[in-house]
Amino acid sequence: MDLISKLKHFFMGSPLPSWEYRHQRLSKRVALAVFSSDALSSVAYATEEILLVLMLAGSAALAYSLPISLFILILLGILIVSYSQTISLYPKGGGSYVVAKDNLGKTPSLIAASALLLDYILTVAVSVAAGVAALTSAFPSLYTHKVIIGVVIIIIITFINLKGVKESGAFFAVPTYLFVISMLAMIGIGFYKFFTGTLSPVVVQTQVTLATDVTIFLILRAFSSGCTALTGIEAISDGVLVFRKPESRNARITLIAMGLILAVLFFGITFIALKLHVTPLQDRTVVSSIAESIFGGRNILFFAVQIFTMLILFLAANTGFADFPRLCFFLARDKFLPRQFTNLGERLVFSNGIILLGFSSITLIILFQGSVHLLIPLYAIGVFTSFTLSQAGMVKKHFTLKENNWIISAIINGSGFIITFVVLIIITVTKFVNGAWMIIVLILLLVTLFKLINRHYNSVARQLSVEHITKIPFHSKGNIFIIFIPTFHNGIVQALSFAKSLSKDVVAVHVKINEKDTDLITKNWDKLKPGIQLDLIDSPYRKIIDPLMKYIDAVEKKYPNNNVTVIIPEFVPKKIWQQILHNQVGLAIRTAIYFRKKTNYLCMSYHLEK
């Protein structure tokens, strides 16, 4: 085992056999933490996003936050019921992409997949950025380092996910439940103080000036911002196969539990924020202001809420890491992404998808300087696009199957389709100039890319197909071997012997770059008399590839009916690091020949002992 493999196994753990995959399944308790962290953590910033929009019309407009949150909760209920039905009908997972592909066709399914992929990337970026905001709210001196902190956090989460499903699930479970407990405690005490008349509004730290009137457009914009609380709802339907048996039943129970917890936390935080007259500030979050007021200052309970909020926001990124690689697997399986995304890594996770997600989300953190408010406008449009297509697909599914109570199910999914489509229009219109246009453009580009990849794979499959062949044709073409001779050593002698054993038509070629090497070759050629023609090619500009390719062109032209194969002798050092001490002419020649239609190559490796 080489040093790289030893280090990899030390940090990642030993490789897992394929039969171990079934033991990597998650219980409902752990799965709730893995798949719900995104949805649950969104309560840390969803209310704040509503208030930020309403503040544009003055502090009196903040009263609209409560009815807006109630409408969002109604939508939440419809989505929970709808995705519960999706899990029942699609127990192997796949979410919006599989539902849309099965019922609506290729293009709608690719739109859903593109929207979801972008949403998962944004999930990681927004969650980490919000987590850093929670951290800097407790420790303001770290505010200037928020981008670096965000990048480091994403690298750590990527590393943990590469270790495997069970390891990442166990790691993320405890912080998720600690966050839920701390939020329920804060909300519970807040409601107790409200009903006992001891809840005192916070002192307004910044004056909100009236900038505009309360309009329908403003309300809709606030509603679309608050809909970020619904991101992550689909995650469980995407990962059904990760649950222990019975997978479908356990996934539905977990989905309902997530919906109930999310509803309580979102409504509770919005209600308490309204009664405390909390307004968002640049250097601290709404949740931190609520915690400081409820717990009576920046004491241990305040810091506990901030720390647990920070942790779940960081770990909420894991929802993206749990589902993004699986969606890439489905797309690659259907030939819309490179096949490498179907490969399970040594730890039985889709490593390529995990690495791609980590890289993409780090790029967003850097581009948007780790700002939650700059990333949020990009966020919800992707998830509501997938919501809408999924609901439409489920309606068609019910009309196709017409199973028990299918009319009621179709009405539920139809209502979900109408509502999510309306919300999608609202989000697109209200956030278009703030960045939503970028997501629309990226979705269109991804759909185009997927179709190009699919077209390529289908073309390759047609050209490689053997269905039309009744027996293997054996041609009597001649074979010409060209041995590339850069200098003269034991590896060259081995290559000469090998070539003569394959064919009588062998020619050697040397490109004259160094006079010393040329003299050495001609001297040994005269001495050993290998019985092979040696051609010397002049290269006044000290190039190797161009003169060699011209030489091969001439051979192919002279012998149009023969197979031409270039033999490339290379010696292989015993240590990997020693390879960098030698030139890479062999690699350059292989690369040049690789794209030639009529030329093949063979590599002759001569392994050194020391």
- Structural contact between residues 116 and 235, judged by C-beta atoms closer than 8 angstroms: no
- For the beta sheet containing 479-484, the strands, ordered from the edge strand earlier in sequence to the opposite edge, are 533-538, 506-512, 479-484, 563-572, 599-607
Same domain, 361 and 223: yes
Pairing mode of beta strands 599-607, 506-512: unpaired
Last residue of a domain, one of 397, 429, 459: 459
Query: How distant is the alpha carbon of residue 449 from its chain centre?
Result: 16
* Residue 563, domain CATH: 3.40.50.620
| Helix, strand or coil, per DSSP, at residue 567 | strand
Residues 442, 561 share a domain: no
CB 91 within 8 A of CB 247: yes
The phi and psi torsions of 207 (rounded to 5 degrees) equal -80, 125
- Which residue matches tokens 């002279």? 558
Q: Residue 566 in contact with residue 604, Cβ under 8 Å?
A: no
Q: How far apart are CA 204 and CA 268, in angstroms?
A: 21
Q: Which residue range(s) make up the domain with 124?
A: 26-205+216-459
Task: Say yes or no: 485 and 421 in one domain.
Answer: no
Packed helices 165-195 and 247-276: angle between N→C axes, nearest 10 degrees: 40
In a domain, 273, yes or no: yes
Whether 468 is covered by a domain: the verdict is no
Give the burial string for 211-241 (b: 16+ CB within 10 Å, else e).
Answer: eeebeeebbbbbbbbbbbbbbbbbbbbbbbe
Give me the phi and psi of 418, to 5 degrees please.
Answer: -60, -45
pTM score, two decimals? 0.72
- Scan for tokens 């197909």, then name that residue: 465
Give a yes or no: residue 470 inside a domain.
no
8 lies in some domain: no
**CB 451: neighbour CB atoms within 10 A?**
14
Contacts of residue 332, Cβ cutoff 8 Å, sequence gap at least 6: 338, 339, 340, 341, 342
Residue that terminates a domain, selected from 459, 492, 507: 459
Report the distance separating Cα 45 and Cα 414, nearest Å.
30
Q: Are residues 455 and 487 in the same domain?
A: no
Together in a domain, 439 and 537: no
Helix axis angle, 65-89 to 380-401, nearest 10°: 50
- Are residues 503 and 411 located together in one domain of the fold? no
* Cα distance between residue 104 and residue 86, in whole Å: 15
- At residue 570, φ and ψ (nearest 5 deg) are -140, 140
Q: Would you tell me the crossing angle of helices 165-195 and 146-162 to the nearest 10 degrees?
A: 130
Domain assignment present for residue 11? The answer is no
As a whole number of angstroms, the distance between CA 322 and CA 341 comes to 14
User: Of 17, 323, 291, 2, whose CA–CA distance to 161 is shortest?
Assistant: 323
CA 452, CA 447: separation in Å to the nearest integer? 9
Is 18 a member of any domain? no
The total of structural domains in the chain comes to 2
**Which pLDDT score, from 0 to 100, does residue 323 have?**
80
Q: How far is CA 30 from the centre of its chain?
A: 22
C-alpha pair distances (Å), 448 with each of 103, 200, 336: 21, 56, 10
Considering just the CA atoms, what is the radius of gyration of the chain in Å? 31
Distance of alpha carbon 112 from its chain centroid, rounded?
Answer: 15
Alpha-carbon distances of 203 from 179, 292, 358, 397, rounded to whole Å: 26, 12, 41, 54
Asked whether residue 580 is assigned to any structural domain, the reply reads: yes
Please report where in the chains the tokens 């009908």 appear, as a residue: 89
In DSSP notation, 357-394 reads HHHHHHHHHHHTTT-HHHHGGGTHHHHHHHHHHHHHHH
Say if residue 409 is in the same domain as residue 547. no
Separate counts of helices (H) and strands (E) for the chain: 22, 5
Which residue positions in the chain have pLDDT lower than 70? 1-25, 93-94, 164-172, 202-213, 281-283, 345-348, 472-477, 582, 610
* 435 and 568 together in one domain: no
Does 297 share its domain with 414?
A: yes
Contact yes or no for 349/164 (Cβ under 8 A): yes
Q: Distance (Å, rounded) from C-alpha 452 to C-alpha 448? A: 6
From 459, 493, 526, give the residue that closes a domain: 459
Which residues in 465-491 are b (16+ Cβ under 10 Å) and which e? eeeeeeeeeeeeeeebbbbbbbebeeb
Q: Is residue 145 part of a domain?
A: yes
Burial zone of 196 (CB within 10 Å; 0-12 exposed, 13-18 middle, 19+ buried): exposed
Do 81 and 255 meet the contact criterion of CB atoms below 8 Å apart?
A: no
Same domain? 297 vs 430: yes
Are 392 and 358 members of one domain?
yes
SS3 label, residue 204: coil
Token couple for 254: 């977990």
Residue 287: closest CA among 46, 6, 20: 46
Half-sphere exposure of 162 (CA within 13 A, CB side): 20
Among candidates 1, 479, 68, which has minimal Cα distance to 270?
Answer: 68
Rounded Cα gap, residues 587 and 512, in angstroms: 19
Peptide bond into 560 cis (omega under 30): no
Contact 340, 90 (CB under 8 A): no
Structure tokens at 106: 């290729």
Please report the pLDDT score of residue 184 as a whole number. 92
Which residue matches tokens 């290559």?
A: 495
Tens of pLDDT, residues 4-52: 455 455 445 555 444 344 545 677 888 887 777 778 878 877 888 888 8
pLDDT reported for residue 292: 86
How far apart CA 541 and CA 561 sit, in angstroms, is 33
Q: What is the CATH number of the domain that holds 336?
A: 1.20.1740.10
Residues 74, 227 contacting (CB under 8 angstroms): no
Residues 449 and 518 in one domain: no
d(C-alpha 359, C-alpha 435), whole Å = 21
Give the Cα separation of 98 and 329 in Å (integer): 12
